Chains A and B, each alone.
Chain A
Amino acid sequence: EVQLVESGGGLVQPGGSLRLSCAASGFTLSDHYMDWVRQTPGKGLEWVGRTRDKVNSYTTEYAASVKGRFTISRDDSKNSLSLQMNSLKTEDTAVYYCARDLFVGGSYYFDYWGQGTLVTVSS
């Protein structure tokens, strides 16, 4: 059974850093693109970034709002994905989800999601 479990959320001051983790089980992480998506309280969904699979050298893409501040990495030996968040702003407050990509129909879609972890940026 595919499972994704996020951890690492919490309260952090503006300008601070936080590292989120996503523990994957039931599949081989290196075979899949993986994404981070966030949802501000009571609002919609925003794509944060993506890491491609091993075949594609784990290259990354980011939303403009986080580029240069957030970094996606993975440890395939631990089947784990991470999101390092630096220089945090109040507008980064959100529930952060990791999602697995499935290549189908010529594109990549999020077929499994974690339960999310809440990040609150506040003084």
Chain B
Amino acid sequence: DIQMTQSPSSLSASVGDRVTITCRASQGIRNDLGWYQQKPGKAPKHLIYAASSLQSGVPSRFSGSGSGTEFTLTISSLQPEDFATYYCLQHNSYPLTFGGGTKVEIK
């Protein structure tokens, strides 16, 4: 199985900050990686596919990069509605595997 190691597990940031979350795959997954945002009590929401492509309707302050084993999700200017938990998910091979999540909290 491909292990997805996400870091940090949590972070505190202020509105307007630039935030970067990293996901590392235990083996190469090309660019078969998605990012999802989850707010408490809600289902996850799809943000990014193919490592760097923005899902329709997602604000442009979100961006993704990476290929192979190293991936990042960046929020260029954190907004109040962005406080949530973020997960990466590799779609390259079965079983599909999620990262452990990064909780973005208000500083």
Q: Which residues of A contact B (CB under 8 A)?
A: 35, 37, 44-47, 50, 61-64, 97, 102, 104-111, 113-116
Q: Are B49 and A105 in contact (CB under 8 A)?
A: yes
Please determine whether B44 and A109 come into contact, CB atoms closer than 8 angstroms. no
Q: Which residue of A lies closest to B1 (CB)?
A: A64
The chain A residue sitting closest to B43, CB to CB, is: A113
Check B13 for interface membership: any CB of A closer than 8 A.
no
B residues apposed to A, CB below 8 Å: 1, 30-32, 34, 36, 38, 42-46, 49-50, 53, 55, 87, 89, 91-92, 94-101
With both beta carbons as reference points, the residue of chain A lying nearest to B53 in the complex is identified as A105
Measured between beta carbons, the chain B residues less than 8 angstroms from A47 are 89, 95-98
With A46-B98, A47-B95: A110-B44 Cβ-Cβ less than 8 Å: yes
**With A44-B87, A47-B97, A110-B36 as given contacts, are A104 and B50 in contact (CB-CB < 8 Å)?**
yes
B32 and A106: CB pair below 8 A?
yes
B interface secondary structure, majority: loop
In angstroms, how far is the closest chain B Cβ from the Cβ of A61?
Answer: 5
User: B31 to chain A: which residues have CB within 8 Å?
Assistant: 105-106
The docked-state distance in angstroms from the alpha carbon of A97 to that of B36 is 14
Q: Which of A45, A46, A106 contacts B50 (CB 8 A)?
A: A106
Given contacts A62-B95, A109-B55, 12 further A-B contacts (CB under 8 A): A35-B96, A44-B87, A44-B101, A45-B44, A45-B98, A50-B96, A64-B95, A104-B53, A105-B50, A107-B91, A110-B34, A113-B44
A44, B98: Cβ atoms closer than 8 Å: yes
Given known A44-B87, A116-B43, contact A109–B101 (CB-CB < 8 A)? no
